[in-house]
Structure 1
Amino acid sequence: MNDPKSGENAGHGGRKPPRRVTPDYLENAALHYLQRFASSSANLRRVLMGKVERSARAHGTDREEGARWVDALVERYLRSGLLDDRAYAEARAASLHRRGASTRAIREKLATKGIDRDQAAAAVAAVDADIAGDMDLAAAAAFARRRRLGPFRREDREAHRQRDLAALGRAGFGYETARRVVDAADPDAIE
C-alpha cells in the first residue's frame, strides 16, 4: 500500500489515516487549535467532533464516548476561562467591523461560529458603543476604502456607481448607507 519512493500512502490518496481519538489526543488537538485560532466553544466542539467522526469511521471508535470527552473538555475550558464566548464574540465583531462588515454580516458570521443571537447582539452593541456615529456607515466606508468603491475609486466614478452600490448591497449594507458612501464627494465627506 505504501509507495516508499513517493512517500505517499497509496491506500489513502496520499493522506495519513486519521488518528485514533483518546482524551489526551483531543486535549492536545484542542490546545493546538486554540494556540492558532480564537474560537467559540461551539466552534471548538465542532472541530473536535470532526476528529471524533473521522476516528470512528477509520478505527471504529465509539462516537458517543468521543462526544462525552469533547463535551467534558469544552466545559472544563469554559470554567477555566480558556474559552470565553462573550469575549470571542466581541473581539470577532470588532475585527469584522474594522474590515468593513455590516452589522448583519457580523451577526451571520458569529452565528456560523456558534454564537447565539443574544450574544451576537451584545457584541455588536459593544462595538457600536465604541464608535462615534453610525456603525454601519463607518463599516461601509471601511469596506469601500478596501475595495476602492465610490469616493475611493480613482477614475470614472459615475460609470461604476451602480456596480459600487451593488457591491455594498451584497456586503449587507442598506441602500441608504450604500448611497451615502458611493455618492460622497470625497472620503472625508462620508462621515
Structure 2
Amino acid sequence: MTAAWLERAALHYLERYSASTEMLRRTLRRRVEKRTRARGEEAGAFAPLVEETVARAVRAGLVDDARFTAARLATLRRRGASARGAAAKLAAKGVPRDTIEAAMEAEREAAPEGEPALAEEAAALAYAKRRRLGPFRRPDARAVNRDRDLAALARAGFPYDLARRTVDAEGEAGRDDEGAGGFS
C-alpha cells in the first residue's frame, strides 16, 4: 500500500461523490482496513498516510466542507428536511458543527427581507407533498389521519405550530391529479 494507491483511491471516490473531509477519511480508512485484512497487515500503520492523503485533497481544493455543506443543505431543504433534521444528517456526514451553523446562517440571510421562516415552511410543505400528508392526502382520508400526519412532521423535526399549519392547509396545495395516487 503506497501513497499513490491511496491517492488513486481518493480520486476515484471524489470523481463519483461529493464528500466532506470526514467522509473521505472514513472511506480511505475502510479501504485500508479491507486491504490490510486481506494481506494480514496492521491497518493502524497506514493512518498517517490516510491523513496525508486527506490533507492533500483539501489543499488541492478537491474537498471543501463549506461547499459540500451548502450544496447538501440546499438539496436536503428542497427534499423537505427540517433545519434540525438537515443539521443532524450533515453532522452524521462528519461536517463540523460550526460549518453547519455557518451554512444555516447563510440560508437565513439569503431569505427575502423579514422572511427567514419561509425556508422552513417550504421544507415542511415539500415533506408533506413527498409523503402525501395533510393537503396532499385524499380528501376523505385527511381527518382520519390528521394526528398521524402531525406526528410524521414532528418526527421529521418540524415545530408543532408549523406542522399543524401544514397539515391543516386548505385545498390540495399544488397537488397535481395525474399520478397523485393509485392506478387509473
- Same fold? TM cut 0.5: yes
In 2, the alpha carbon distance for the partners of 1:51 and 1:71 equals 13
Provide the residue aligned with 1:165 in structure 2. Answer: 150
Task: Report the CA distance between 1:131 and its aligned residue.
Answer: 3.3
Partner of 1:126, secondary structure, is helix
Deviations 1:123-150, CA, capped at 9 Å, x for gaps = 1222233334312211101101111111
Task: Say yes or no: does 1:119 pair with 2:99.
Answer: yes
| Unmatched 5+ stretches in structure 1 | 1-20
In 2, the alpha carbon distance for the partners of 1:142 and 1:31 equals 35
Provide the residue aligned with 1:183 in structure 2. Answer: 168
Task: Say yes or no: does 1:142 pair with 2:122.
Answer: no
Provide the residue aligned with 1:56 in structure 2. Answer: 36
Partner of 1:158, secondary structure, is coil
In 2, the alpha carbon distance for the partners of 1:60 and 1:39 equals 30
Number of aligned residue pairs: give it.
168
Letter of the 2:159 counterpart? G
In 2, the alpha carbon distance for the partners of 1:61 and 1:129 equals 51
In 2, the alpha carbon distance for the partners of 1:25 and 1:154 equals 55
- The root-mean-square deviation of aligned C-alpha atoms, in Å, is 1.5
Task: Report the CA distance between 1:40 and its aligned residue.
Answer: 0.3
In 2, the alpha carbon distance for the partners of 1:109 and 1:178 equals 20
Structure showing greater Rg: 1
Aligned residues: percent identity? 49
For normalisation by structure 1, the TM-score amounts to 0.82
Q: Report the more deviating stretch, 108-117 or 22-31.
A: 22-31
Q: Report the more deviating stretch, 53-62 or 156-165.
A: 53-62
Question: Which is bigger in relative contact order (C-alpha 8 A, separation at least 6)?
Answer: 2
Deviations 1:20-50, CA, capped at 9 Å, x for gaps = x332221111111111110001110001001
In 2, the alpha carbon distance for the partners of 1:131 and 1:158 equals 33
For normalisation by structure 2, the TM-score amounts to 0.85
